[in-house]
């Protein structure tokens, strides 16, 4: 395409080379925003007519032409041409070829700078809402699992060393609340994008009597940008969405890490469905948690998407710069990766089998009732630090003899310290160890029942909010 044929080519004598034309094009990336671009242009045309900037007839022709293009794209009959550079010019050129001079009046009062900002925000809202719905599905799966396996005891860890026994439900609910925060971050990203830049033109506003609030209402934006320079150069909303994706992927990766080692022969706490496992090309016995590993691996790329956009934006003066064309590819990758990962994780959670016996056996090892023995001594008047030392020596002796705390007799305990009486054996009963954790948010049965109730309430409230 010669420069004179481009929609911006009036002041050019020479054209970009075929290579530089392709190098500068964003159409392969931003064409996925076609629906937002068309909706924005329809609203803009309607407003121009209401304000007397263009005729009602031209506005009707423009809107009908845009509907026809939308139908073509939706049916796969629209031909995207790399010479058009981006989705905005692709649609405008095809519109003008279809309806004539009226199509050339569509761009009155706007620039690609405020147009792309509008498209990106409109599209980002859809992306954030879609991810939020998928996050609800995962939270629901975790909550169902926590309810179904209520009462199952498993080892809790710190530093990957056995620490204290917890309910498996409590462990799953820890992830439920992580993903609840991710849901809230996606809602915040939606709110950050819910501001209309259209009407800011290139950077300074326009001389046409545009009604920006009318366009905001037509497109469903909550407010209108206050400053035209900020409006066309702001990509914070994309950073917010990328950040929400990165944190959610981090939470998914942490859960994957646990599912990976829980499914190993060394732990045997869970069995992943065959649908979420693969085998080895050489070792017939292998059942590998590949999909959990892939989510864990893809997390790093989503981190990179966030850092790429932060780095792109860090040195840009006001207002618009072509660097900002690089804002969407990483965001779209982050959104796609999180969306696919949520689908996989939800499926893994719904189909995995829990080995309750293996979890309980794991909770009986590792001297996980040691803290409760120390607390028992505190109850007899022994200072905690002294009690800590006494039980520490007891654990050391058990290790030497190859015994667990549950295998000790009342006499064994009494030999270690005179403050141990017969009822000290209750301190090492795993079920009672769990049950004694009664504080708000703890792992005891009553506390977890309260937590489950609050989780059900939060899921219902968020589901209803999304429905609205």
Catalytic (active site) residue 253: no
Joined together, the tokens standing for residue 461 give 């409230």
Distance of CA 128 to the CA centre of its chain: 9
Is residue 372 within 8 Å of 384, Cβ to Cβ?
no
Q: Measure the CA–CA gap between 258 and 348, rounded to whole angstroms.
A: 13
Catalytic (active site) residue 159: yes
278 phi/psi in degrees, rounded to 5: -135, 175
Q: Measure the CA–CA gap between 422 and 413, rounded to whole angstroms.
A: 9
Query: Which residue among 159, 223, 277, 341 is the active-site one?
Result: 159
Give percent helix, percent strand, percent coil of the chain, each to the nearest 5. Answer: 70, 5, 25
Query: Which residue among 280, 281, 445, 458 is the active-site one?
Result: 280
The stretches of 26-109 forming alpha helices (DSSP H) are 27-30, 34-50, 56-75, 87-99, 101-104
Bond prior to 259 in cis (omega within 30° of 0) = no
Q: Measure the CA–CA gap between 117 and 362, rounded to whole angstroms.
A: 54
Distances (CA, A) of 460 to 137, 380, 466: 12, 46, 10
7 phi/psi in degrees, rounded to 5: -65, -20
In sequence order, what DSSP letters do the residues of 248-278 get, joined into one string?
HHHHHHHHHHHHHHHTSTTT-SEE--GGG-B
Residues noted as catalytic? 159, 280
């Amino acid at each position: 395409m010669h420069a004179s044929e481009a929609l911006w080519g009036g002041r050019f004598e020479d054209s970009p080379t075929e290579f530089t034309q392709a190098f500068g094009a964003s159409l392969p990336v931003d064409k996925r925003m076609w629906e937002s671009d068309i909706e924005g242009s329809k609203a803009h045309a309607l407003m121009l007519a209401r304000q007397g900037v263009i005729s009602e007839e031209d506005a009707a022709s423009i809107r009908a032409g845009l509907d026809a293009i939308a139908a073509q794209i939706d049916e796969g009959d629209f031909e995207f041409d790399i010479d058009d550079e981006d989705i905005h010019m692709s649609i405008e050129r095809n519109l003008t070829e279809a309806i004539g001079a009226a199509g050339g009046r569509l761009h009155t009062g706007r620039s690609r700078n405020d147009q792309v900002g509008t498209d990106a925000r409109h599209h980002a809202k859809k992306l954030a809402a879609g991810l939020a719905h998928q996050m609800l599905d995962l939270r629901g799966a975790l909550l169902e699992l926590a309810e179904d396996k209520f009462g199952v005891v498993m080892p809790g860890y710190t530093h990957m060393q056995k620490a204290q026994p917890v309910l498996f439900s409590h462990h799953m609910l820890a992830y439920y609340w992580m993903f609840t925060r991710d849901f809230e971050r996606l809602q915040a990203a939606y709110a950050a994008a819910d501001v209309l830049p259209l009407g800011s033109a290139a950077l300074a506003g326009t001389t046409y009597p545009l009604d920006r609030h009318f366009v905001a209402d037509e497109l469903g934006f909550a407010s209108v940008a206050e400053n035209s320079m900020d409006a066309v150069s702001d990509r914070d909303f994309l950073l917010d969405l990328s950040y929400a994706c990165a944190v959610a992927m981090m939470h998914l990766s942490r859960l994957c890490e646990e599912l990976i080692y829980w499914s190993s022969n060394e732990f045997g706490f869970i069995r992943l469905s065959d649908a979420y496992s693969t085998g080895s090309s050489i070792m017939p016995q292998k059942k590998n948690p590949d999909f959990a590993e892939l989510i864990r691996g893809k997390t790093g790329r989503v981190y990179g998407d966030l850092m790429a956009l932060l780095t792109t934006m860090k040195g840009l003066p006001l207002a618009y710069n072509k660097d900002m064309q690089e804002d969407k590819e990483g965001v779209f990758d982050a959104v796609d990766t999180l969306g696919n990962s949520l689908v996989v994780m939800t499926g893994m959670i719904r189909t995995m089998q829990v080995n309750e016996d293996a979890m309980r056996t794991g909770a009986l090892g590792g001297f996980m009732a040691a803290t409760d023995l120390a607390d028992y001594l505190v109850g007899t008047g022994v200072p905690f630090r002294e009690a800590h030392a006494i039980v520490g020596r007891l654990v050391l002796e058990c290790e030497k003899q190859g015994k667990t705390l549950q295998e000790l007799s009342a006499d064994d305990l009494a030999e270690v310290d005179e403050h141990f009486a017969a009822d000290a054996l209750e301190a090492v009963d795993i079920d009672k160890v769990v049950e004694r954790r009664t504080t708000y948010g703890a792992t005891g049965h009553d506390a977890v029942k309260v937590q489950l109730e609050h989780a059900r309430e939060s899921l219902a409230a968020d589901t209803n909010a999304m429905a609205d």
